[in-house]
Structure 1
Amino acid sequence: MLSADGEVVSWNAGAERFKGYSPDEIIGKHFSTFYTAADKAKGVPYRALYLARTAGKFEDEGWRVRKDGSLFWASVVIDPIFGADDELLGYTKITRDITEKRRTAEALHASEERFRLLVQSVTDYAIYMLSPGGLITNWNEGARRIKRLDFDEVEGSHFSRFYTDEDKLKGIPEQALRTAERDGRYETEGWRVRGDGTRFWAHVVIDPVFDSAKQLIGFAKITRDITERREAALTLERTREALQQSQKLEAIGKLTGGIAHDFNNLLSVICSGIDLMRAMPADLAQHRKVIDSMERAAQRGAALTGQLLAFAREQPLTLEVLDINHVIASFEAVLRRAIPNSAGFTIKKAHVGRVQTDVSQFESALLNLVINARDAIGEDGSITLETRQAILEENEVERLPAGMYAVIAVSDNGAGMAPEVAARALEPFFTTKAVGKGTGLGLSQVYGLMQQSGGHLGIESAPGQGTCVSLYFPTQVAQHASESEAPSLEKALVVDDQPDVLDMTVAIFQSLGYEAIAANSGAEAMHLLQQHPDIHVLFTDVVMPDMNGVVLAQAARELMPEMRILLTSGYMGGPLREQFGDALAQFELITKPYRLADVAKRLRTVTT
């Protein structure tokens, strides 16, 4: 108790315990004894009594001083005591030592402040709080950066403002809050909308916040912009799929190359035999119709293996520098005959420069594309053949290097293809046509041509939106090759490990006027070369069991530097290049099945 002047008139055990004074030491002294010097200088004790007397009560917290001079944080309540006629008799004063409570509060405040500063300093994550109803109640710097909105622009608005219209219609924002409250967490990825209307791919986590009574008081929401990571993942997946497709096509290519090798040996015998029989006197060729049928069958077989080898990238091309627009103009009549009169066919040509490819293979590829388009449109659709020039950046189209390209595109307004069908379009033997209407080798042949020409084949198609197949050829500078003069009649050494093929080839050379010597192995051929120094032409198969044709050709050239050498095989390209490398490139190569005229032409152009 205090007197009306503020002197201590009573003192309990609690006061003695935490202030340190015994009753006889403090009773009669002014209660300002417990205040700090600073508070005394400010008149705080007297102001406390004044407020208690005039307001009827005074409450405060502040530092107080014990007898030993130490400080404690006190909660103080002072009530005035009035007697009759409102005479002030004194005051009751209650003091509590709440130092620990204050320290705990300060520590909590400091922790909260550090957490607030931490959250505010994060810029890679949007961290903000929501009310139980989903209204935004605070906002960190990361949210401002990612969402591109200041806090005063979003405060009190519903967080669904950042969802796409499609997600809002599906009720996804509300579902997210319900899931978080029910399961204790909600996590997802999806498109979100920034303040400027642009979209980004977000990783989102929502956690519910409960009070001590387990009542929901809001949600903590963390959003991260992972658009770049998603694009990188998609790019990696596309690259992986392209690699798998390339490996699959390579494997099929090796298989088809092997089949074609064996088939070409058989066709070579048939084709050469037909040529020789035609050269015989008429009375020995009484079954000409049969011969004609054999020839047509052999030609179809040769065309089929040509398609297989083109897909396998093993069919050697006769590369020429061509004006593509000129080739198309010369071939236009054939293309138009392949299309019904009721269908539309438009050709648009722009300057594209010159490209290096095989003219006959290119014409065949073009016809394949037009026929595929014709089959897709039916009787009354339309087809467009367009040429244009394109300047590509590195890897802009698949893995093509940067540079200038001539683009030949064949498009139609037909039924189009589903993604899974378009993905298989280049596979050999895969076709969407009815049984008996196609071999499934058309596009794969075009693909092989483009690979060998250093270009690319692209397909754009969707159900109901037609199909566009684009061929990308790197533009070239024209090159002119010179031909050697035709050789005089000479002695030729013919080498093949297949007896039927060897006999037929010897007959071909004899019909061309050569003195042909036969050898069925590399070792035998070397023996004959040493016995016949007047041999001027070596015609040898590449793949033989003892000594292969490349080794034989190298040894023959060393023995006779002026010898003309021509290699042949029904199995060429990739596997042979992998096995023989640059050594194979030193010699001319002719593919099986070869015709008499083919051999004659190559013998005229082959050089030593």
Structure 2
Amino acid sequence: MSDTVPDAEDSTALVDALGDGIYRLDADGRVLRINDALLDLTGYSREALEGAHVSMLFGAATRDRLGDADGTAVDVVIETSDSGQIPCEVRVNAVSEGRVGVVRERSTADDEDDVRTPPNSVSAVIEEADIGVFVLDADRRVVWADTTVERYFGLGRCAVVGRDKREVIEEQITDHVADGERFAETLLAAYADGRYPNQFECHVTPGEDREERWLEQHSEPIESGEYAGGRIELYYDVTDRKRSEGSLRDAEERFRSLVDAVEEYAIFRLDTDGTVISWNEGARSIKGYDADEILGRHFSAFYTEADRADGVPQANLDAAYRNGSVEDEGWRVRQDGSQFWATVTITAVYDDGSHKGYLKVTRDLTDRHLRERELESELEQMLGRISDAFYAVDDEFRFTHVNERAEQLLGYSQEELEGTVMWKALPEGPGLYGEFQHALTRQESTSFERYFEPLGIWAEVNVYPSETGLSVYLRDVTERKERERELELFKNLLDQSNDALLISNPETGAIHDVNDTAVERLGYTRAELLDMGIPDVETELSGREEWRTFVEELRAEGQTTFNGLHQRKDGSTFPVEVEVSHAEFDQEYVLSIARDVTERREYERKLEASNERLEQFAYSVSHDLQEPLRMVSSYLQLIEERYGDVLDEDGQEFLAFAVDGADRMKAMIEGLLAYSRVETRGDPLEPTDLDSVLADVCTDLQLRIEESGAEITADSLPTVVGDENQLRQVFQNLVENAIEYSGEAPPAIRIDAERDGQQWRIDVHDEGVGIEAADQERIFEVFERLHTQRDHDGTGIGLSLVERIVERHGGEIWVDCEPGEGTTFSFTLPAAEE
């Protein structure tokens, strides 16, 4: 069946062609069919002409004259196969996707004045073309019908030729047409009043031996000859076209529904010049135009002025035409003038090889574009802030990006580095090029450490490859390497140390390393210790939970010291003083230095026993001395009472010296006893308010303060950990000394306090006579006096007692003074927790 739909001019051509030559061309001018009359006229074979260009029959000039097909007769010269020339008249008519030409020799054309029944040659062409033909006379009787009509309508030619066509329609044809009534009404009305439709379609229903088909009917009058006033009716099979149109229409409807449903994309068609010819809902939503506002306008309206000035719209069309499609992105303009960032795909559309225009798909990605810009900006800032040196190189090792730290490390600015080969700033060391080349060629990341002598640093290098080059992180680990070296030296030294070193994991307590002393002291081999943990050897940290709690406190403090017991492999224990610190090298560690204090503990035990014996001796001495001293004092008093009146002046003076000596001896014995009992007879240390202590001291010394005219000022004093009675003794002794050695002026005493870490420093300042520098080191010694008894009273034990009390509290005491400029006694006491 033919898929070509001829138009009305084809019927005129057939009428004029009775007995003449006929040819049919495709859109490119190549011969599709040719009848025998034309073959006989030209002398060519059918094989030579069919598929050949029509220029074989006509010269170039004649061909150009026949280019505009309008049915007008044109005088031409036909070129025969033997190079002869035949004058002819050619009438060319355009048909669907091609042309039909009728050739008549001019010598015979003037003798032809009527229309006869088509000869076999013309009939063959009609039959071959699958065109159903009725020829009617002026009375609408069928004078001829071809076999195609028989097949289309299920008729027999013998049964219809000579009959009135109207009867044939009513009795036979209508039954075989799907819309038979409309078909009959259309033709019968035309026969009645002569108003023939230009063309119309009918649907032929299938019968037992016929397939379903669509026919398109054309009708033209016969203007001369025997059947003048009659009609020629032609029925073309357009089934394939109708099916294609139906499928296309369904597809277009589905496509249109789909396109309109996709509001995220602007999807529209352009003709070959870029004019908008279709518009979907997404386009209206994104670009702001209704269809009637944009159809017929050029698509360049969507581009910015700058893009239009640069010819971007036409360049995109040209690229799509050349390459089939083009992708583009950039700022586009909405109807209201606002801009949005779009990604665009323009695809050239072809139909049967003919360019029909373009399909344009646009997506609004403004939010994503802005986020990407923000991310790019943040990435640039982030790369600039990375503490490690970061740089990127292309596949030829040229710098493409350098952050600020890399600039500092390499000693060049980004402008100096970009585009230059990496080895300019990072001299190639042994194997360094191989590491980078390996990462690039095998697309495998790599890490290594290297000393870069020109830079004077140790660096940890991490290399990450991509298809376009390498990303390199260069971390300066010189400090870490120095620490590791120091640690190695430290370990070497500690291996020679008399203290045991244990390096452990802070999370589990597992021992990482030990020195030789630890191996010797604990009785394990090094391998055995490396399979153990700190809780296995330290009895104070016998459980995992105790270890975790200890490490948490260590992290907070950084360092701590405690006394404990280490357990040997044989189960025996020995006392240790352990200094523990928290450290980080390439990872986190706990460093424990354990000092065997067995000998010191024995010495302390002996010293404690000695102190106990000394205290007992001091007590015994003081007790034994006090008894005869009381007897001496008693008899001296009796002498003074009974014989005082009879003694002369010298005797009375001698007696006074003896009494004073006995009193001083008693005070010294009592002071010595108090000094020996500082450690053993003191009260427990507990939070003590020094303001309250000073107030009690001032009350006890009130008479002395009033007699001397002393003025005592003090800041708000803190709460410390101490023995209240002993601290009262400290303040009393220092205040009494300040009053005693005030000189001629009334005593002026100031007491201050200042926090110093975990301790408070207390300053007692006076404006008295001061102390010579040579005497400042011995004033805290027992029974040391800087002045005679006649100048100043005292036993020489007061400051020694103060020093021992302060030391019992874990503090220290010192003096700062200049002769004639006053004296400041300073001492420290542990601060109480707030």
Question: With structure 1 as the length reference, what TM-score do the two structures score?
Answer: 0.41
Structure number with greater Rg is: 2
Q: Taking CA–CA contacts closer than 8 Å with sequence separation of 6 or more, which of the two structures ends up with the larger relative contact order?
A: 1
Q: TM-score, normalised by structure 2?
A: 0.31
